[in-house]
Chain A
Amino acid sequence: MTAESLSLSTSTPAVSDPAFAPDATVEVTNTSVWFGQKVALSELSCSFGRGVTGLLGPNGAGKTTLMRAITGLLPVNQGTVRVAGRDPRRDRSVHADVALVPEDEAMPPGLTARQFVRYIAALQSVEDRGAPDRALAEVGMLAVADRRVDGFSKGMRQRTKVAGALVIDPGVLVLDEPLNGADPMQRLHLITLFRTLGTGGRTVIVSSHILNEVERLADRIIVLIHGRLAAAGGQRAIRDAMNDRPRHVLVRAGDSRPLAAALLSLESVAGIRLDGDDLVVSTNRAAELAHALPGLARDLSVRLREVRPLDDSLESLFRELVR
């Protein structure tokens, strides 16, 4: 990880700080939000500009709270949130240019997908009568537009909500876990759509707790942990942060002791711990280990039963980032 490309949380924002976009349309300054005793956001400062920015963090990190604060659904207890220089909580004209796709599955019951999107269009005074159908077509929901949203799967609901957001042609699009429930084809389609919107000059903010998903969507990533900014930067910087840290890999083999001795000779192995018949291998270069291990086992005539990373989750990356 490099200091230029990855910013760990600091209280004082700098001009070159990757937490701040150069052409910011959404600015979050020293923002705190709490619910009773629970602090959801703590003195968070960052900004979002044109293109797709990924908001990454484990469950409970404050991603949804930040998105609700950006759209004005939640008042902030401290600090400010500005969208195009306006307070989304006080200035309702902001909502003509900001759309939110919430994570909640809840949708208005009794409406068809078309009625839902038309309702949003009517509230936003969209005069183009063809806009709702075009928005539904963009997310692949036109064929089922006359079906009621109550009967939709989670993925279909998410796509309908995305259509509701797209119908107003927003400058700022806030998407809270938009790929939840979508099948692989739909994911690919939505990722392409969001990237197109980003390259088209819109500010797209996408949250997820899955690093690979955010990497495919966003060029810039902001990592939140416990309501604080943990890291920000390009996806390469975040990935490097993940690759540079020691990993633990569980190896189950027929005869583990000679394999352990052979593994210790590898440069990619930092240490080995025996856990019964299992080996827990520490490595800084997981890819190298993965490449070398099958050949080593074959040379020793040892049968590999299982090779599994023990901590290859985003949570472990987050733990590393805040250590």
Chain B
Amino acid sequence: MTTAQLAKQRLWAIVAYTLRSCIGPRRWVGCLLPCGGALLFGLLAHAIDQPADEAFARVAADGIFALVVPVAALVIGDAVLGAEVRSGVFHFTWLSPAPLTEVAIGRWAGGMIVASVTIVPACALAPVIAGDGASMGAAALASFAGAAAYVAIFITFGCIARRTAVWSLAFVFFVERLLGAALTGIAQWSPTWLSRSVFVGLADDPPDDLVREGIPAGGGAVVRLAVITVIALAIARWRLSRIRMSGASD
């Protein structure tokens, strides 16, 4: 077998392992709950006394991209790495000559497959429920790009801290929501603000007050989210080489 074939085989093994072992029944439930939330936000749009597209854009900006996507990504991102490190199982993967870049990418890819069959379809369905079927594609793309960045970030947290969930929630609610609302510099690198910006940029005629100055919109925001994903995975790979695995009992 050539080196490329071996690398492909290893990567596939890591992805398959991630899907089989990391995402257990409880994690699936944990993923499906935010999905239910996305659909409820779609229903909630009917309660807003505005045209369907405007009403859904408001619900999506504050509910789906600021709450549902990060929570679902947190469940997935923690499952694919942080939970394994804490339980003392990750060393079965680490104790191999497989390059850590492959490990980080494989875990992220496994997580994104889960996101692609849970939160992304739910986010795509939400505008249909809201009566704004035209925004389906924008919602799907925004949730996919946002989830990609979030899963990578939460994988990184899994390599850095043992209390991944606490740090991840602090990142979402304190750094992104509070600081990001006040400081554009933070919002420019925030998956919440950027995924919302992807949606606002691609949706037809979104409300003006949802467009935030200084943040790329539409395709530009997708690129920014891709950059965040790559940077987060690079940090995760670097941290994996320095991770201290003392076992579940320690």
Contact = CB atoms under 8 A, between A and B. Distances in A.
A68 B247 contact: yes
Interface stretch (A116-124, A264-272, A279-287, A307-315): A116-124
A190 B228 CA distance: 49
A78 interface: no
A120 B96 CA distance: 8
B100 to A, nearest CB: 7
A106 B1 contact: no
A208 interface: no
Nearest to A123: B96
A2 interface: no
A99 B95 contact: yes
Contacts of A35: 246, 250
Contacts, number: 92
B21 A100 contact: no
Interface string A72-97: 11110000000000000000111110
Given A108-B17, A120-B96, A74 B89 contact: no
A75 B244 contact: yes
B227 interface: no
A299 interface: no
A64 B247 contact: yes
Interface string B1-40: 1000010011011101100110010000000000000000
A106 B14 CA distance: 18
A98 interface: yes
B95 A95 contact: yes
Given A106-B88, A119-B13, A123-B14, A95 B247 contact: no
Interface residues of B, number: 34
Most buried by B among A64, A73, A94, A115: A73
B98 A74 contact: no
A161 to B, nearest CB: 8
A23 interface: no
B189 interface: no
Nearest to A90: B241
A103 B250 CA distance: 12
Contacts of A4: none
Nearest to A104: B88
A127 interface: yes
A125 B88 contact: no
A125 B9 contact: yes
B109 to A, nearest CB: 15
A277 to B, nearest CB: 43
A79 to B, nearest CB: 16
4 pairs of A and B residues whose beta carbons are closest in the complex? A122-B13, A123-B96, A108-B21, A73-B245
27 contacts: A71-B95, A74-B244, A74-B245, A75-B242, A92-B98, A92-B99, A93-B97, A94-B97, A99-B95, A102-B88, A103-B247, A104-B88, A104-B249, A106-B88, A106-B89, A106-B248, A107-B92, A108-B92, A109-B24, A110-B21, A110-B24, A111-B17, A123-B10, A123-B96, A124-B98, A125-B1, A125-B9
Given A108-B89, A119-B13, A125-B6, 7 more contacts: A92-B98, A95-B96, A106-B89, A106-B248, A108-B17, A116-B92, A164-B92
